[in-house]
Structure 1
């Protein structure tokens, strides 16, 4: 049920997020289902990401990349890779990019954070990704339309 709601919500968001005809549609999904330093209940994050990616690809023609259980460095490197790719390819920068983060969050010094797979609650400042940091990195990506979920 949770997966169906996730897919339905994403479809609604995409219908209200029109693609540019000259651009390419891409989705970069970060799915954390296993945390190295945190106690956890079984997660459907990886299965949810795969289901969402399949819908985006088959129904909307998106190029989809799913990064499973990424560490903080993996997320930062992948965002930098997309930033450089967008600069080099005009069809990508004229298109749309969906960035989807599936996993847990926390608060550090009053700021919301995304918890990568290597996050440690005792060292959030060093291991979590504050949303203001993520949004600054995302803002540097040249793309006509970027949706962050």
Structure 2
């Protein structure tokens, strides 16, 4: 439980630092050879949807990224947001989604012994995974969630 809280505090700190970054939004455009902006159309290999519920505050968050890199997030206490991944963000997600270690992380269902645990539901293409976050070590899934949250700000 302490590890989960440390992860959440670290994740929030990383999000705060990312917000102070270059100022590029997820819908930034890349210049073409002629200098005219061209929208990024980086697709991801596996459309994904991740839902996170529970926790001490009773969150209800959903992140969705389609095959064209269009994303949408919803949260119980915030307005829905949407945008498009940049090429770098799509590449980062593809790398993590194709990492065999992610399947290892997703195969750990977790335990429901924590009173303030998060429940994760992840759809990747036609596959669906369910797990409870109660301090389990899932480094690749944690990286995926960090990239997903940072890419959908």
Question: Which bin holds the TM-score, normalised by the shorter protein?
Answer: under 0.3
**Higher RCO by CA contacts (8 Å cutoff, separation 6 or greater):** 1
Between Structure 1 and Structure 2, the one with more helix by share is 1
Between Structure 1 and Structure 2, the one with more strand by share is 2
